[in-house]
Amino acid sequence: MVLLGLSSFANSLVSRTLEASLGIPVRVGGVHLKLLMFRLLMDTNSPSGEAYPLVSETSVIPIEVGLQNVKLMNPGGFEEPVMIFMPELFIRINPEGFLRGKIHIQQIRLHVEEVTAERSMKGKINLNEWLQILKTPQKAAPPETVLQPSPAPGKPQERQKKAGAPLQIDEVLLNLGRVRYVDDAKLQLEPKVFALNIRNERLHNASDPVMISQQVLEFVLKRVGLWAMSAQIDKMASEGMEQARGAVENFFK
pLDDT at 1: 39
| pLDDT tens digits, 67-113 | 999 999 999 999 999 999 999 999 999 888 888 888 889 999 999 99
pLDDT at 99: 81
CA dist 213 and 237 (Å) reads: 16
Asked whether residue 33 is domain-assigned, the answer is yes
**pTM across the whole model:** 0.69
SS3 171: coil
For residues 182 and 79, the answer to whether their CB atoms sit within 8 Å is yes
* DSSP, res 1: -
Asked whether residue 105 is domain-assigned, the answer is yes
When mean pLDDT is compared over 162-166, 212-216, 226-230, 237-241, the highest value belongs to 212-216
pLDDT at 179: 92
pLDDT at 222: 79
19 vs 143 pLDDT, higher one? 19
Task: Bin 49: left if φ > 0, else alpha if -120 < ψ < 50, else beta.
Answer: left
| pLDDT tens digits, 30-57 | 988 876 555 545 545 555 555 544 444 4
Asked whether residue 181 is domain-assigned, the answer is yes
Asked whether residue 19 is domain-assigned, the answer is yes
Asked whether residue 76 is domain-assigned, the answer is yes
For residues 9 and 23, the answer to whether their CB atoms sit within 8 Å is no
CA dist 63 and 95 (Å) reads: 7
Report whether pLDDT(5) > 50: no
pLDDT at 85: 97
Kindly indicate the confidence band of residue 139, based on its pLDDT and cuts at 50, 70 and 90.
Answer: low
| pLDDT tens digits, 164-214 | 678 889 999 999 999 998 988 777 678 889 898 999 999 887 888 888 988
Number of compact structural domains in the chain: 1
Q: Choose among 171, 125, 101, 141: nearest CA to 16.
A: 141
SS3 234: helix
Asked whether residue 130 is domain-assigned, the answer is yes
Asked whether residue 141 is domain-assigned, the answer is no
8 vs 129 pLDDT, higher one? 129
Longest CA–CA separation in the chain, Å: 82
Q: Which domain holds residue 202?
A: 2-39+57-135+165-251
Helix H or strand E encompassing 217: helix 209-223
Asked whether residue 160 is domain-assigned, the answer is no
